[in-house]
Amino acid sequence: MSKKKTPPKVKITADTKMLLEIERPIGDNGTRNILSLGSYIEEVISDDFLLIKMPIHRGYNYLLPRDTPITAYFFMHARMFSLTVQFIERMGRDGLEYAKMRVMSKIQPGQRRDCFRLQQCTLPVMVERVAKRKSDQPPPVECMMLNFSDGGMLLATNASMEVGETLTLFFDIGTAETVEADVLRLENPYEGPYRQNVAVRFLHKCIKQKQRFYKYIVTQQRERLRQQAEEADAPLPRT
């Protein structure tokens, strides 16, 4: 009888890079305004308090809101986790500014839908439309990936496609991938050289391929989080 693997214990430590999502006042169009800022943990004071590097926004220390829950995301064991924190006070140390944060929740795995969706992609995708008759088979067209999840993607294209039709997609994420998909919806892009955006859903038949997609998404998100934290910690340019 095979033994079940014990899930890895998640415990945040000093130098853990984090992404803070701060909800700001609702905009004129009535939508939520979320600001994402990179930071890292300077010290784990106790189970209830953390000391983090004051996040940088537009070259200055960002004034964190008081009495407002802030969701902090971080990667560990190739997965994304989150916890809710609250800003308590600013603290200075060695000429740098830090924020003392109260931990308001337990660590949770993947609490937002977007943790499994990679936004702002620019990968090329060759698309072959599946015709009902081989004699009607159009040539493949090159599109651009806009976002990517393990269950589908959003493409930018100049080709005319229809909701419900089946496509075959070819793209490279470090491994050459081929997957069939069906068109869910069509969107008019706000700008750019492409005529329309096409949302597709993968018709998965291979669990290993889906796992490769997930691994690529998490790896890319972790790298972006690392870059954001490094940019937040970069010294200000001299004037």
Q: What is the pLDDT of residue 230?
A: 62
Task: Please indicate whether residue 142 or residue 27 has the higher confidence score (pLDDT).
Answer: 142
Token pair listed for 70: 């802030």
Task: Please indicate whether residue 110 or residue 184 has the higher confidence score (pLDDT).
Answer: 184
Number of domains in the chain: 2
Q: What is the pLDDT of residue 221?
A: 77
Whether 12 is in a domain gets the answer no
End position of a domain, from candidates 111, 127, 142:
111
Q: What is the pLDDT of residue 150?
A: 83
Task: Please indicate whether residue 205 or residue 99 has the higher confidence score (pLDDT).
Answer: 99
pLDDT (average), residues 43-66: 91
Per-residue pLDDT reduced to its tens digit, 206-237: 888 988 888 888 788 777 776 765 665 555 45
Are 170 and 82 within one domain?
no
pLDDT (average), residues 49-59: 90
Q: Which CATH number is 197's domain given? A: 2.40.10.220
pLDDT (average), residues 9-24: 84
C-alpha 105, offset from chain centre: 22
Q: What is the pLDDT of residue 186?
A: 92
Task: Please indicate whether residue 29 or residue 141 has the higher confidence score (pLDDT).
Answer: 141
The mean-pLDDT minimum among 3-7, 32-36, 64-68, 95-99 falls in: 3-7
Are 88 and 163 within one domain?
no
Whether 56 is in a domain gets the answer yes
Are 76 and 145 within one domain?
no
Computed on alpha carbons and rounded to an integer, the radius of gyration of the chain in Å comes to 22
Cβ atoms of 126 and 142 within 8 Å: the answer is: yes
Whether 233 is in a domain gets the answer no
End position of a domain, from candidates 73, 88, 111:
111
Query: Is residue 239 scored above 50 in pLDDT?
Result: no
Q: Which residues contact 232 (CB under 8 A, 6 or more apart)?
A: 37, 38, 39, 53, 55, 56
Whether 2 is in a domain gets the answer no
| Nearest Cα to Cα of residue 165 among 195, 135, 128 | 128
- Domain coverage including residue 70: 17-111
Q: How many C-beta atoms surround the C-beta of residue 230 within 10 A?
A: 12
Q: What is the pLDDT of residue 126?
A: 96
Task: Please indicate whether residue 3 or residue 64 has the higher confidence score (pLDDT).
Answer: 64
Q: Which CATH number is 97's domain given? A: 2.30.110.10
- Give me the chain's average pLDDT, please: 82
Whether 227 is in a domain gets the answer no
0.75 exceeded by pTM: no
Whether 7 is in a domain gets the answer no
Q: Which residues contact 19 (CB under 8 A, 6 or more apart)?
A: 36, 37, 38, 39, 72, 73, 74, 225, 228, 229
CA separation for the pair 108, 93 (Å, rounded): 30
Query: Is residue 50 scored above 80 in pLDDT?
Result: yes
Are 212 and 150 within one domain?
yes
Percent of the chain with pLDDT over 70: 80
Are 131 and 205 within one domain?
yes
Are 152 and 68 within one domain?
no
Whether 169 is in a domain gets the answer yes
pLDDT (average), residues 140-153: 91
Q: What is the pLDDT of residue 25?
A: 66
Query: Is residue 84 scored above 50 in pLDDT?
Result: yes
Query: Is residue 11 scored above 70 in pLDDT?
Result: yes
Query: Is residue 49 scored above 50 in pLDDT?
Result: yes
Q: How many CA atoms lie within 13 A of 104 on its CB side?
A: 13
